Amino acid sequence: MSQLFSATQIGKLSLENRIVIAPMCQYSASEGKATAWHRIHLGQLALSGAGLLIIEATAVEAIGRITPGDLGLWDDDTEAALRSVLEDIRAYSPIPVGIQLGHAGRKASCAAPWQGGEQLALDQGGWETVAPSAEAFHEGERPPVALSRDDLARIKQAFVDTAKRAEKLGIELIELHAAHGYLLHQFLSPLSNHRDDEYGGSLENRMRFPLEIFHAVREAVSDSIPVGVRISATDWVEGGWDNAQSIAFSQAFEAAGGDYVHVSSGGLAPQQSISVGPGYQLPFARDIRQQVKIPVIGVGLITEPTHAEAVLQEGSADLVALARAMLYDPRWPWHAAAELGAQAIAPPQYLRSEPHGLKGTLKANR
């Protein structure tokens, strides 16, 4: 029996299989509000047969957006726009939907990737950014403002308020974004956090604010909603955040009541040196999984069904996340089920699409 298509659970949330659609920024919102693009994008992914769909990094305040086109959930307008999209998805798909809550910190105020991705000037639609320390991501960029205690309290409350809005929308899982060089990762890494108060210096101090955010969010939403975290296991820079520190953070997160760890890497420093290949981040996930009891999600150039199955069989992760591979092939779970001799869920309108010789691969999602 395929382990990839076996049922599992994250916290109190039951999943049909172990395929996770990872959060993928679309840079296509309007002042933080979901648009028709999100209805199309998330709608097709909701029909994929995956076990869990996590909405892209969603800003908890306007200055926390990576780009002006980032999705947000910080006021009634952004909540209403996302509600409309989710209502349409749920009319046709039972897929559990999670959301990744984030703040870009010093990596905010940038153009979309297809527009160059450079930091936007203040007179070109940009804004002042914030970070643990007043040090820019790229040399020559406008430096961020170092966060004061009042700022930390504001951002923590923003995470709480956004988490409550997510619950109101019926979202079933919350992921805190502490990866890819964004604000919570900036607190974790000694390369970006040079504070001399209780939020900087030692590993314990650097972990403090991300863990405070988790505690506040966990207390703000129902215990039926799993709250997990996505981390970058390493900065890929000597002297930066590494997997030993990631293990310590994952253990602290588990002890605090966290429900899962989603293991990625990189994004904090332009100096990173990454050797990319299929499953290149899985050794980090495996090491973390050996030290915690909560589920670990592995991700990183996992494109072939047999590889995804092997990841689980070998114990590198409890679930497998796909991002670009799912964009390239939104029916990846169907094709994986056919290759692995399993079944994937599909809308009844599409059941007759099964190729000859593969009858029974798809089953109705209602």
Residues annotated as catalytic (active site), given as ranges: 182
Residue partners of 202: CB distance under 8 A and separation at least 6: none
AA letter at 211? L
DSSP class per residue in 106-175: GG-SB--GGGT-PBPPGGGT----EESSS--SSTTSPPPEEPPHHHHHHHHHHHHHHHHHHHHTT--EEE
Rounded to whole angstroms, how far apart are CA atoms 32 and 30? 5
**How deeply is 347 buried, as exposed, middle or buried, from its count of CB atoms within 10 A (0-12, 13-18, 19+)?**
middle
Q: How remote is the C-alpha of 48 from its chain's centroid?
A: 18
Rg of the chain in Å (alpha carbons):
20
For residues 107 and 137, what is the distance between their CA atoms, to the nearest angstrom? 7
